Amino acid sequence: MFIPARLSDDPYLANMDYGRTLDAFIEADRKTLKEGREDVYAGAVFSEWNPRLHVCRPFPIPEAWPMWRGADDG
């Protein structure tokens, strides 16, 4: 299980200049340090990726769905 650690989780640091310092970082580093996101990195093709928006909850795949494989060719 992944438990993110966000800047807002630490009231001491959240109320200091540290947050503004992080705002000057590149987007990937800022998301990692301020939002606790470990799924972002510099050079990612889809920098807007957000699992809360782009991932659905697991569900059983109906047998009626035509499927010959499951893969990500990307």
Q: How many Å apart are CA 65 and CA 59, to the nearest integer? A: 13
| Token duo for residue 6 | 């966000």
Q: How far is CA 70 from the centre of its chain?
A: 23
The residue range of the domain holding 17 is 7-54
Q: Total structural domains in the chain?
A: 1
Q: What is the mean pLDDT of residues 28-49?
A: 81
Indicate whether this model's pTM tops 0.75. no
Q: What is the mean pLDDT of residues 28-53?
A: 81
pLDDT at 27 over 80: yes
68 in a structural domain: no
The fraction of the chain above a pLDDT of 70, given in percent, is 96
User: Which long-range contacts link 42-46 to residues 24+ away (Cβ below 8 Å)?
Assistant: none
CA gyration radius, the chain: 18
How does residue 64 score in pLDDT terms, banded at 50, 70 and 90?
Answer: very high
Whole-number pLDDT of residue 60: 92
73 in a structural domain: no
63 in a structural domain: no
